[in-house]
Structure 1
Amino acid sequence: MTGGAGGSVGRRAVLRDEFELPLTRRAAFRLFTARGEELWVPGWVPSFFVHDADDLEIGTVWQTRDDRDRLTTWIVLDCEPGRGVRYARVAERWTAGTVTVELDDIEGGCRVRVAYDLTATTTDAAADLARFADGYAAYLAEWRTAILDHLASGGAMPDPV
């Protein structure tokens, strides 16, 4: 880990885990897009720079704010609708890296594999990233619970791809 002229300040975390949903991969896929996450992630409000931007198109850019009001810029790097998507994400003066979501059909639903590859850009962010890494499995379990709660409540679903 190296920083700017001041030397080492950050850390890198490569995190992978998975969970299952009672949906086909095609039905579940859009839940992991910028607009799809609005349905089940509290406080998730993507702000697009281009009116009517396609949140599956490679190169599409949007921003979100986290619970600490930090601005995060997202860019679609790769997308195979119904199968997987990879995003670049840069939280200003905090972390930068990629998020990958891959889906496979299994009996009774789909398996969702999620990988975060993040580098902290400050000492404070490094400590925060270490906490995130320690709780990564629980974090993805919360994703699953939130999606299942959304489904159980009859929440809207995006069109399958």
Structure 2
Amino acid sequence: MTRSPGATTGCRVVLRGSFALPLARHDAFRLFTARGEELRVPGWTPRFFVDDADDLEVGTVWQTRDDDGRPTTWVVLDCEPGRAARYARVAEAWTAGTVTVELVDAAEGCVVQVAYDLTAMTTDAAADLARFADGYDAYLEEWRTTILDHLASGGAMPGPV
């Protein structure tokens, strides 16, 4: 974690990690979009502000709520369908930053590389962000397990890109 000179309440963390999936990257990619996550993540309910919004289009905005009910606004910053997406993520008066998901071909599927670059806006958010950073590897393992459980149960898959 880093603190800027003069900063007294917040902090910034940059986290990177990866995990393997037994899916081709083109098939797996949609699982990391707003609508794809809705299929596999309990409680993930993106609310779009434009009818028929394309969750792969740069500039698309949607909102979710975190575990504490805090609104979190997302914006697609970059998207290379089938390969990578970068999102701005702002949890109201709590944290702000980016989330990047990149998928790389592997011998038996793909490797998902996930990076969070977040800044906490308050002392409480900084403590929460420190806990998130400490548990980041377990967090990504939970992503992997959730996806594998979804696949094993015959859960719906979004169409490939």
**What TM-score bracket applies, with the shorter chain setting the length?**
over 0.9
* Equivalent position SS for 2:39: coil
Whole-angstrom distance in 1 between the partners of 2:7 and 2:89 = 23
Amino acid at match of 2:58: I
Corresponding position of 2:92:
92
In structure 2, C-alpha distance between the alignment counterparts of 1:16 and 1:133, rounded to whole Å: 10
Residues 46-78 of structure 1 show CA distances to partners (whole Å, capped at 9, x for unaligned) of 000000000000000000001110000000000
Q: What amino acid is aligned across from residue 75 of structure 1 in structure 2? A: V
For residues 125-156 of structure 1, give each alpha carbon's deviation from its aligned partner in whole angstroms, at most 9, with x where no partner exists.
Answer: 00000000000000000000000000000000
- 2:59 corresponding residue in structure 1: 59
Other structure's SS at 2:116 match: strand
SS of 1:58's equivalent?
A: coil
Q: Which amino acid aligns with 1:61?
A: V
- Superposed counterparts of 1:20-39, under 5 Å: 20-39=20-39
> Match of 1:95, as an amino acid?
T
**Superimposed CA distance per residue, residues 101-123 of structure 1 (whole angstroms, 9 cap, x where no aligned partner):** 00011011000000000000000
**Which whole-Å CA distance do the structure 2 matches of 1:147 and 1:140 have between them?**
11
What is the CA–CA distance in structure 2 between the aligned matches of 1:74 and 1:63, rounded to whole Å? Answer: 6
The aligned residue for residue 118 of structure 2 is 118
Q: Distance in 2 between matches of 1:38 and 1:127?
A: 28
Amino acid at match of 1:23: L
- Give 4+ residue runs of structure 1 displaced > 3 Å after superposition: none
Going from structure 1 to structure 2, the CA distance change for 1:159 and 1:93 (only over 3 Å counts) comes to: same
Aligned to 2:77: 77
Amino acid at match of 2:90: V
TM-score (norm: length of structure 1): 0.96
Q: Distance in 2 between matches of 1:137 and 1:7?
A: 27
Q: Residue 18 of structure 1 aligns with which residue? A: 18
Task: Give the superposition deviation at 1:2.
Answer: 5.0
Cα offset, 1:42, TM superposition: 1.1
Partner SS, residue 40 of structure 2: coil
The residue type paired with residue 70 of structure 2 is R
How do 1:117-156 residues align onto structure 2 when only pairs under 5 Å count? Answer: 117-156=117-156
**Match of residue 102 from structure 1:** 102
Change (3 A) 1:48 1:14: same
| Percentage of pairs with the same residue | 77
Q: In angstroms, what is the RMSD of aligned CA positions? A: 1.2
Three-state SS of the structure 2 residue aligned to 1:38 is helix
What secondary structure is seen at the aligned counterpart in 2 of 1:23?
coil
Partners in 2 of 1:119 and 1:7 — Cα distance? 11
Which AA in structure 2 matches 1:37? E
